[in-house]
Chain A
Amino acid sequence: KQEVTQIPAALSVPEGENLVLNCSFTDSAIYNLQWFRQDPGKGLTSLLLIQSSQREQTSGRLNASLDKSSGRSTLYIAASQPGDSATYLCAVMYTGANSKLTFGKGITLSVRP
Chain B
Amino acid sequence: DTGVSQNPRHKITKRGQNVTFRCDPISEHNRLYWYRQTLGQGPEFLTYFQNEAQLEKSRLLSDRFSAERPKGSFSTLEIQRTEQGDSAMYLCASSAPRLSSYEQYFGPGTRLTVT
Contact = CB atoms under 8 A, between A and B. Distances in A.
Nearest to B92: A43
Interface residues of A, number: 25
Contact of A32 (B4, B6, B102, B106): B102
Contacts of B45: 100-102
A46 B56 contact: no
Contacts of B65: none
A99 B95 contact: yes
B106 A103 contact: no
Interface string B33-57: 1010000111111001000000110
A95 to B, nearest CB: 11
Interface in A3-45: 4, 31-32, 34, 36, 41-45
B28 to A, nearest CB: 16
A26 to B, nearest CB: 15
Contact of A103 (B6, B44, B107): B44
A51 interface: yes
B72 interface: no
B103 A34 contact: yes
Nearest to A101: B104
A43 B109 contact: yes
B104 A34 contact: yes
Contacts of B48: 98-100
B108 A98 contact: no
Contacts of B95: 99
B13 to A, nearest CB: 18
Given A32-B101, A51-B101, A99-B48, 9 more contacts: A4-B42, A34-B104, A43-B109, A44-B91, A91-B104, A103-B43, A104-B42, A105-B40, A106-B42
Which 8 residue pairs spanning A and B have beta carbons closest together? A103-B42, A44-B106, A43-B108, A100-B45, A43-B106, A43-B109, A49-B103, A98-B56
